[in-house]
Amino acid sequence: MEEKEITVNIKKYNDKDGAFWKSYKLKADKYTQMTEVLRRIKSEQDPSLAYRASCHMAVCGSCSMKINGIPSLACRTIALQAVNEKNEINVESMDYYPGVRDLITDIDGFYDKIYKVMPRLIADESVLMGENEQRMTPEDQTEVWKFQECIYCGLCVSACPSVKEDEKFLGPAAHAKGFRFIDDVRDTKKQERIELLMDSAYRCTSCYMCYEVCPQDVQPVIAIKKTKNYLDQYKGDTPVTVMARKHDDTIVNLIETTGKIKESTLFLKTFGFGEAMRDAVDMLKTGKFKYAFEKDSKVKNMSEIKNMMGEKK
């Protein structure tokens, strides 16, 4: 099989020397996975190279790292597809997590967030006693499975901007896990789960980074959005959810009545009169105040909008 020489630049790290880059040259063919590249570097050139790897088929989630700056699983990355025009590949540990050694990071914080969402099914007592059988439609199974496919790789959290700035945000993986149980007809703790997740859900900025980097296509941001669908059933009351309610209610109301959103109304209702006035002063300063009263005609055929927004199912 045709082989090509490649250069792999690895950002190494240890407690004594700190971080430094080291380059390795080796040959790869069109099938060579990055896990195999690392194994061969370790076995043939640098036995001290530290990284995690287990299944090499993208189900165990061990080999998470940044390859050419992109949060990736090494096993899912084919070396010759990842090289640049100079046949080079750059490999670093994941962002966000504390470094331990070379490509190994400490992701205990990631696990801790998952544990917080009660990540286990609590079935009805009669089922556990074997008196009742659980049924589930194939459609329901498909949806649960989608969010259950998370492999704990940690890539989504390493790339999430909200996790970095907001310690109260549980992060994408924990939300996917949490929602997977909300969504499971066999579970008996739906309300508790809604209470656990809602405040955090409104700390997600919907930037789709988790969706982008997830090697299993779990789409955690979609799980978060689906969790927010339950806001009406949420009984808790935190500053975040209180504001979210005002904000969302205003939007829905604006769309229901005009088919469009008017930010000036939205600011007023969401932030209250005081804050909205401050915004108005800012806008006066920037010269944008005039736009706040920009009149856009509302949707003419409002019956279409109203009919589409009606309760279904």
3 makes contact with other proteins (CB under 8 A): no
Q: How far is the CB of 7 from other proteins (least distance, A)?
A: 19
Residue 49: name the closest of 88, 91, 84, 109 by CA: 91
Q: What tokens appear for 295 in the block? A: 């009149």
Q: Which region among 18-26, 86-94, 180-188, 189-197 touches other proteins (by CB under 8 A)?
A: 180-188
Q: How far is the CB of 199 from other proteins (least distance, A)?
A: 9
Distance CA 24, CA 26 (A): 7
181 makes contact with other proteins (CB under 8 A): yes
Question: Strand 4-14 to strand 88-92: parallel, antiparallel, or no bridges (unpaired)?
Answer: parallel
Residues of span 136-155 touching other proteins by CB under 8 A: 136-141, 143-145, 148-149, 151-152
Letters for 259-278 (x = contact with other proteins by CB under 8 A, - = none) are: xxxxxx-x---xx------x
23 makes contact with other proteins (CB under 8 A): no
The alpha carbon of 278 is separated from its chain's Cα centroid by a whole number of angstroms, namely: 33
Q: How far is the CB of 165 from other proteins (least distance, A)?
A: 5
82 phi and psi angles, rounded to 5 deg: -95, -15
35 makes contact with other proteins (CB under 8 A): yes
Q: Which region among 10-18, 20-28, 85-93, 188-196 touches other proteins (by CB under 8 A)?
A: 10-18
Q: Which region among 3-11, 86-94, 133-141, 188-196 touches other proteins (by CB under 8 A)?
A: 133-141
Mention every residue, 6+ apart, whose C-beta is less than 8 A from residue 104. 50, 51, 52, 93
Residues of span 97-126 touching other proteins by CB under 8 A: 100-102, 104, 106, 111, 115, 119-121, 123
# of chain residues touching other proteins (CB under 8 A): 129
Tell me the residue ranges of DSSP E strands in 63-212: 64-67, 70-73, 88-92, 99-101, 104-105
Q: How far is the CB of 190 from other proteins (least distance, A)?
A: 14
Residues of span 188-207 touching other proteins by CB under 8 A: 202-203, 205-207
3-state SS assignment for residue 191: helix
Letters for 40-59 (x = contact with other proteins by CB under 8 A, - = none) are: --xxx--xxxxxxxxxxxxx
Packed helices 108-115 and 172-182: angle between N→C axes, nearest 10 degrees: 20
Distance CA 220, CA 178 (A): 10
21 makes contact with other proteins (CB under 8 A): no
Residues of span 277-296 touching other proteins by CB under 8 A: 278-279, 282-283, 285-288, 291-292, 294, 296
Distance CA 52, CA 16 (A): 20
Question: Strand 99-101 to strand 70-73: parallel, antiparallel, or no bridges (unpaired)?
Answer: unpaired
Mention every residue, 6+ apart, whose C-beta is less than 8 A from residue 205. 161, 162
* Binds other proteins by CB under 8 A, chosen from 11, 26, 70, 189: 70
The alpha carbon of 252 is separated from its chain's Cα centroid by a whole number of angstroms, namely: 25
